[in-house]
Chains A and B, each alone.
Chain A
Amino acid sequence: GAVVSQHPSWVICKSGTSVKIECRSLDFQATTMFWYRQFPKKSLMLMATSNEGSKATYEQGVEKDKFLINHASLTLSTLTVTSAHPEDSSFYICSASEGQGYSPLHFGNGTRLTVT
């Protein structure tokens, strides 16, 4: 089945630094990937839609300059949390679809970010 891989699975960084999270589709090409964040005991919240070769589309209330998304190839999207602060600590999850239309989205196993 379709596999989405995220790296790293967890990261600790100091306040004010930037952190990059990678999302790869291992056995399929994905023109669109999605980034979510999840706080403890809460549901997933969609942050942005990442489109290969074009700018990402951000959901309302998500700062595009804070969360930089790059989708440079059909198998890789990256999320960079810039100038991270403790309130950015969260579980970040990406997903991708192996086809268009109604093909299921497949999710990575998430990245636990802790900002100290």
Chain B
Amino acid sequence: DAKTTQPTSMDCAEGRAANLPCNHSTISGNEYVYWYRQIHSQGPQYIIHGLKNNETNEMASLIITEDRKSSTLILPHATLRDTAVYYCIPRSGATNKLIFGTGTLLAVQP
């Protein structure tokens, strides 16, 4: 499984865009990049995933570099409820597993 590197923590002002980076330089060609978040004492919540094209849904946008070695999750207008630990996880369809790293604690400030 590919290893990931994420900042331990980040702050963001309410209403501003939150840009969360992830380095996954050892990602394999068949691994998608998944993003989840976990609000305190809850189960992880799926946000978005992609292979090599940029993706957008109602929650966020995902920007993947052309070499696929890194990606950025963008929350366009952060709210206080977006305060959570955000995990970037490469995942192979063959194993189907999600192996969690340490993630980034995003603190949205009023």
Residues of A with C-beta under 8 A to B110: none
B97 x A34 contact (CB < 8 A): yes
A interface bracket (residues with beta carbon within 8 Å of B):
20 to 34
Residues 74-116 of A, flagged 1 when their CB comes within 8 A of B and 0 if not, give: 0000000000000000010101010011101111111010000
Chain A interface mostly helix, strand, loop or mixed? strand
A62 within 8 A of B: no
Chain B interface mostly helix, strand, loop or mixed? loop
Residues 81-103 of B, flagged 1 when their CB comes within 8 A of A and 0 if not, give: 00000010001010011111111
* Complex: chain B residue closest to A111, CB-CB: B43
A104 x B49 contact (CB < 8 A): yes
B interface bracket (residues with beta carbon within 8 Å of A):
20 to 34
B93 x A102 contact (CB < 8 A): yes
B44 within 8 A of A: yes
Q: Which residues, 30 to 59 on B, are CB-close (under 8 Å) to A?
A: 32, 34, 36, 38, 41-46, 49
A46 x B98 contact (CB < 8 A): yes
Q: How far is the CA of A106 from the CA of B34 in the complex (A)?
A: 12
Q: Tell me the smallest distance from the CB of B68 to a CB of chain A, in Å.
A: 15
Residues of A with C-beta under 8 A to B101: 43
With A32-B96, A46-B97 in contact, do A104 and B43 touch (Cβ < 8 Å)? no
Q: How far is the CA of A107 from the CA of B34 in the complex (A)?
A: 14
With A34-B97, A93-B43 in contact, do A102 and B91 touch (Cβ < 8 Å)? yes
A46 x B99 contact (CB < 8 A): yes
With A95-B98, A104-B49 in contact, do A44 and B44 touch (Cβ < 8 Å)? yes
Beyond A43-B102, A112-B41, 15 extra complex contacts between A and B, CB < 8 Å = A32-B96, A44-B100, A46-B98, A49-B97, A95-B43, A95-B98, A97-B96, A101-B96, A105-B46, A106-B46, A107-B36, A107-B43, A107-B45, A107-B46, A108-B43
